[in-house]
Chains A and B, each alone.
Chain A
Amino acid sequence: MGVPRDKIDWCPEIDYDKCDYCMECDEFCPHRVFERRDGEERKLVVANPTNCVVFCRACGKTCGPDALSFPDKKETTALIKKLREELVQDG
């Protein structure tokens, strides 16, 4: 994208009221975005948000209770374009 990954706010958000800790998303994601926390109340967390591939929403498709959400695509695209312009201006 021509922008440092940590400047782009794109990763899944877990709705803990819906999540049933089936761990399908964690089993699916090859980028280790999630981490399991056995013995804790929140047994699954988004531990590595910048590992998430920007605009990928594939883990959400595996979620039976629909507990994963993502940022708005258009807003993210606009932010990336803005950051790119700033980088060009800064030379």
Chain B
Amino acid sequence: MGNEKYAILPCNGMDKEAGALARETALRLSARQAGEIVCPVLYHRSAKKYGKLLESSPLLVIDGCRTACASNLAKESGARITRRLNITDYLKGRGIKPGKSLELSTELLDETHRILEELLETDSEEGKAAIAADFTAPLEYETFTQDKYIFRVPRQGFLFNENDCWARVDGTRARIGISDFVQNSASDFLFFEPPQVGAAIEQFGEAGSLESTKTALDIISPFSGTVVAVNAELAEAPETINGDPYEKGWAVELELADFEGERELLMDCPSYLGYLKKKVEREFHKKERE
């Protein structure tokens, strides 16, 4: 992302306080970056109006609450979201509970400065995030098919959790991603929201999230550790995960905190292959019954 100006699509801010803060944040960011606001109401009425802008600028969506109207609007209109911020989630992380008032309190107005600083700071960190270790050794896969779907699992060198997320470990570092099962179930990915570089992640905690044409999901980290890199390519081309979930489609790289203590709760490749086959059979039988 670096220093590019965003096109900013915010919540329209007319329902509750978190939305009003989303709107205020968008206005201030726009003033600071000379970026352009995408009015959600006008965009809903006539997406064409913003066609050129959205072709030439990365899109930042600022949602007020988890209903995520602005994100859904962008998705329904076929826009590619480059970055997204949810004000309610942000405030939850700061221990603040927004209310119903549309008039922003001084406390919340003060938060806009912090949000802007964090947004712009993360951008510059993501620009520097290409410090990933070497995970380029070619992989061999076990493959099985079910109907039109092909499922691959690497033969070795990976550990999996029951949430269908993998870790490829190299020394004290691991890359984290999702398995073929998730990408097959979710269909084409449209958006990857990475964790911040430097963030501490717990085992089975969230290491970013993904949205596809069908669903939204969290990447559940098999290990705890500190985020040392995120896959910057996924911001521009999240569908890379669909084509190559175990190599080019990696999501996050961690400096591991407790490899030996945590690996016992994970499956190796043959175990995951067995787990996956059973899961796929179950899912397809369920669909047949429906």
Residues in A lying within 8 Å of B, measured CB to CB: 1-2, 28, 30, 53-58, 61-64, 66, 73-74, 76-77, 80-81, 84
Query: Is B67 a contact partner of A54 (Cβ separation < 8 A)?
Result: no
Query: Which of A53, A66, A76 touches B88 (beta carbons < 8 Å)?
Result: A66
Query: Is A77 a contact partner of B216 (Cβ separation < 8 A)?
Result: no
B122 at the A/B interface (Cβ < 8 Å)? no
Q: Which residues of B contact A77 (CB under 8 A)?
A: 203-204, 265
Give the residues from 176 to 231 in chain B that come closer than 8 angstroms, CB to CB, to chain A. Answer: 185, 202-206, 209, 215-218, 220
Q: Which residues of A contact B185 (CB under 8 A)?
A: 30
Q: How far is the CA of A62 from the CA of B265 in the complex (A)?
A: 28
From known contacts A61-B66, A80-B265, infer whether A54 and B162 are also in contact, taking CB-CB under 8 Å.
yes
Query: Is A58 a contact partner of B65 (Cβ separation < 8 A)?
Result: no
Query: Which of A1, A56, A62, A81 touches B216 (beta carbons < 8 Å)?
Result: A62
B163 at the A/B interface (Cβ < 8 Å)? yes
Q: How far is the CA of A8 from the CA of B85 in the complex (A)?
A: 33
From known contacts A54-B162, A64-B65, infer whether A73 and B204 are also in contact, taking CB-CB under 8 Å.
yes
Q: How far is the CA of A11 from the CA of B215 in the complex (A)?
A: 19
B82 at the A/B interface (Cβ < 8 Å)? no
Query: Is B163 a contact partner of A56 (Cβ separation < 8 A)?
Result: yes
Query: Is B66 a contact partner of A55 (Cβ separation < 8 A)?
Result: no
From known contacts A77-B265, A80-B265, infer whether A57 and B218 are also in contact, taking CB-CB under 8 Å.
yes
Q: Which residues of B contact A62 (CB under 8 A)?
A: 66, 216
Q: Contacts A58-B217, A73-B205 given; 7 further ones with Cβ under 8 A? A: A55-B163, A62-B66, A62-B216, A64-B67, A66-B92, A73-B202, A76-B204
